[in-house]
Amino acid sequence: MIPVFAHIGDEHGRRRSVARRTADAVGGAVRELLQNEDLAMGPGLMQSLDPRVRLTTVLALAVTASLVRSVWVLAAVFVATMVVAAASRVDVGAFVRRVWASAGLFAVLLAAPAATSCFTPGRALLTLGPLTTTAPGLAIAVRLVARVAAGAGVGLLVVWTTRWTDIMRALTSWHVPDVVVAIFAMTQQQIVTLMRTVEGTHLARESRMLSEGSTAETRGWVVERMAFTARKSLKTADDVYDAMLARGYSGAWPSIVRLRTRGRDWLWLCGCAAFSAAVIGADKLVAR
Amino acid sequence: MHIPDGYLGPQTYAVIDVAILPVWAAAASRVRRTLKSRQVPLMALGAAFSFVLMMFNVPVFGGTTAHAVGAVLIAVLLGPWAACLSVSTAIVIQALAFGDGGITAIGANCLNMAVVMPFVGFAIYRLVSGPAPSLRRKIAASGLGAYLGLVAASISAGIEFGLQPLLAHDAAGHALYAPYSLAVAVPSMAVTHLVVGLLEAAVTMGVVAALARSDPALVAMRPASRPLTWLWAGLGALILLTPVGLLASGSAWGEWAPAAVKGMVGYMPAGLQRMSGAWTAAMPDYAPAFIKDPVVGYVAAALTGAALIAAIIWLVGIALSRRDDASPVPTDDEEPS
């Protein structure tokens, strides 16, 4: 039997091994995190705003998108997120691809049955074999997909233009308990550390295996790696705590927040409030 | 199971987002009391582990892979309150740093994966493992807890989806958010996760077994914080809520009566006709025949079903205890069977 060479699987169009797939996924996530940090540190509209204003307006836009009923108004909200992304020096093509890859396609798959007469009776538009697409069903499905895309676009604005440290600074200035902010900040750091560990162990297996092995054997190895990661996580907690004590930790977290709201922040806040009001007003007009 | 923005209407996500706050406060208070000042790095590492665990591809069959949620595993290792905080932290970071799961749906995602799953799973784990379990029984209990915890979380998500057409629709009655009714959403989510749950159970059992071999202290039984009280209270609340199912109109998707199938396709399939009378349920349509009120009937059926399941679990527990007494107690270095 010719073994499947796990380490060259992707280069030769063969199926990638489980270890390679996990390593690629984890490595991709780490790269994405670092790229997001680079993007968020660069120049741009969103990046220049006070993080508190950024988070407040993005949350307001997400709520606004959830209140809209008209597909056309939802499409306008999505276009607005693309405009803001472009003004924030984000690659608009990548932005749209990411929205559809992360949420849009899944929404299409989930909404598709609702477009048929099985779930939504009504005027038939198209019949393919036993399935009939109805007009009200199509309207329900398109509205769900448009709403999910608009919501994902708004969320992606935060992900791509806001550094994690900025989110922590905003939370601190909003008087979120220090211990909560500390847990969030440390978690993000430890995620990167653990992901590097997971990527390393999977690449190590990939590099020393001629064939992937049976499904059961690979599953056993993956479970062992999970246990190793759990052990490492819990043991590291003790080391981190000892390091905190060594650096003078006494239960309180010093705050070094220096956030200042400037004229452009107030302007952006007012602009977003006006946009939200216009969106809801337009939706009422269209829905009427 | 991460719900993106757009599936839940404001009537749902606003209520859940507010309702989750006291749960987090209670969890923070409980964790602070039990774990003291070491809680900060432990919570952070627990949350990081929860996040990374979801990135492991576990081979299933035919080259396909899936991933586990791990909330019950973390509950077994750190306790359910700590698991609630850890998984919640991971969900918030997934939403804000990776765009996985919606911003408005953070509360709903935390309710399903950080509250329902670890608490239901941990309660089952404690119930089945008993006060002084052997390693084998502890592993079996963690698997059953993970399985039922995931199924409970999926039912919770299904209820959230299924309520949307009832809570928000246009003048023509068409859904504005998730379009499927309770009769479709709940069975769809539950049946899917009845299968996916097998992987969750296998992964949880495997990790607990591996940790028990290498570092038994990590899976030592944590002091009970009245989990059975919580279990019975939660079970009682769920039983009282069962009449919510009466709000759903029509039959659950795929659970049609033979007459309904005949009405839909125009004829009665021969196999269906032959098999439909093979078994007569003691309580058809979830109501004893002598109870006329459907609400009372639903509650009675839920009470009967819960009592039967509790009795089965109790009997399984007794059987496992006798088996443990009869065979040598496995040490923590022993390979689990």
- Backbone phi, then psi, for A113, in 5-degree steps? -60, -30
Q: Do B45 and A152 touch (CB under 8 A)?
A: no
Residue B309 included in any domain: no
Residue B264 included in any domain: no
Assign A4 a pLDDT band (cuts: 50, 70, 90): very low
d(C-alpha B42, C-alpha B47), whole Å: 8
Residue-wise pLDDT tens digits, B131-156: 777 888 889 999 999 999 999 999 99
Residue B101 included in any domain: yes
3-class state of residue B230 by DSSP:
helix
Judge whether residue B57 has pLDDT over 80. no
Q: What share of chain B is helix, strand, coil (3-state, %, to 5)?
A: 70, 0, 30
> Between residues 150 and 189 of chain B, which touch chain A (CB distance below 8 Å)?
170, 172, 174-180, 184
d(C-alpha A47, C-alpha A51), whole Å: 8
Let me know: does B105 contact A165? Beta carbons within 8 Å.
no
Residue-wise pLDDT tens digits, A198-246: 888 888 888 887 777 788 888 888 888 888 888 888 788 778 888 888 8
Assign B105 a pLDDT band (cuts: 50, 70, 90): very high
B171 CA to chain A: closest CA distance, Å?
10
**What's the rounded mean pLDDT across residues A180-197?**
84
| Stated length of chain A | 288
pLDDT of residue B114: 93
Shortest CB distance from A179 goes to which of B40, B49, B177?
Answer: B40
Which residues make beta-bridge pairs with A181? none
Let me know: does B207 contact B270? Beta carbons within 8 Å.
no
d(C-alpha A124, C-alpha A137), whole Å: 9
B45 CB neighbours in chain A (<8 A) are 186-187, 190, 233-234, 236-237, 240
Of A159-173, B53-67, B129-143, B190-204, the poorest mean pLDDT is in: B53-67
How much is the pTM? 0.78
For A270, residues 6+ apart whose C-beta sits below 8 A from its C-beta are: none
Residue B246 included in any domain: no
String of b and e for B269-287 (b: at least 16 CB within 10 Å)?
eeeeeeeeeeeeeeeeebb
This complex has an ipTM of 0.83
Residue B17 included in any domain: yes
Judge whether residue A178 has pLDDT over 70. yes
d(C-alpha A109, C-alpha A54), whole Å: 32
| Mean pLDDT across chain A | 84
Q: What percent of chain A has pLDDT over 70?
A: 91
Which residues make beta-bridge pairs with A127? A132
Judge whether residue B128 has pLDDT over 60. yes
Per-position DSSP letters for B121-183, written without gaps between them:
HHHHHHHHH-SS--HHHHHHHHHHHHHHHHHHHHHHHHHHHHHHHHHSB-TT--BSSS---HH
pLDDT of residue A68: 92
Residue B25 included in any domain: yes
For B49, residues 6+ apart whose C-beta sits below 8 A from its C-beta are: A194, A229, A230, A233, A234, B70, B74, B86
- Report residue B93 as tokens: 């970071």
Q: Amino acid identity, residue A6?
A: A
3-class state of residue A3 by DSSP:
coil
Q: List chain A domain ranges.
A: 1-41+185-249, 47-174+258-288
Let me know: does B54 contact A21? Beta carbons within 8 Å.
no
Judge whether residue A191 has pLDDT over 60. yes
Judge whether residue B197 has pLDDT over 60. yes
Q: Is B73 on the interface with A (CB under 8 A)?
A: yes
Let me know: does A72 contact A286? Beta carbons within 8 Å.
yes
d(C-alpha A225, C-alpha B57), whole Å: 11
**What's the rounded mean pLDDT across residues B200-219?**
86
**What's the rounded mean pLDDT across residues A175-201?**
83
Count of domains observed in chain B: 1
- Report residue B307 as tokens: 């009592």
Work out the angle at residue B187's Cα, subtended by the Cα atoms of residues B307 and B71, and round it to the nearest 5 degrees.
75
**What's the rounded mean pLDDT across residues B173-183?**
88
Judge whether residue B258 has pLDDT over 80. no
pLDDT of residue A201: 86
CATH number (domain holding residue B92): 1.10.1760.20
Distance (Å) of CA A123 to CA A111, A126, A133, A139, B169: 18, 10, 8, 12, 19
Q: Do B51 and A187 touch (CB under 8 A)?
A: yes
> Between residues 99 and 128 of chain B, which touch chain A (CB distance below 8 Å)?
99-100, 102-104
A240 CB neighbours in chain B (<8 A) are 41, 44-45
Shortest CB distance from B103 goes to which of A120, A139, A155?
Answer: A155
Residue-wise pLDDT tens digits, A60-96: 999 999 999 999 999 999 999 999 999 999 999 999 9
Q: Is B305 exposed, middle or buried (0-12, 13-18, 19+ CB in 10 A)?
A: middle
- The whole domain housing B187 covers 10-226
pLDDT of residue B146: 94
Assign B332 a pLDDT band (cuts: 50, 70, 90): very low
Shortest CB distance from B214 goes to which of A120, A223, A231?
Answer: A231
d(C-alpha A26, C-alpha A38), whole Å: 19
- Backbone phi, then psi, for A127, in 5-degree steps? -120, 125
Assign B327 a pLDDT band (cuts: 50, 70, 90): low
d(C-alpha A146, C-alpha A65), whole Å: 10
Let me know: does B201 contact B32? Beta carbons within 8 Å.
no
pLDDT of residue A8: 38
Higher per-residue pLDDT: B258 or B61: B258
Residue-wise pLDDT tens digits, A123-174: 888 888 888 889 989 999 999 999 999 999 998 888 899 888 888 888 888 8
Residue B313, Cα to own-chain centre: how many angstroms? 17
pLDDT of residue A226: 86
pLDDT of residue B334: 39
- Report residue A21 as tokens: 């797939």
Q: Do A102 and B215 touch (CB under 8 A)?
A: no
Residue B266 included in any domain: no
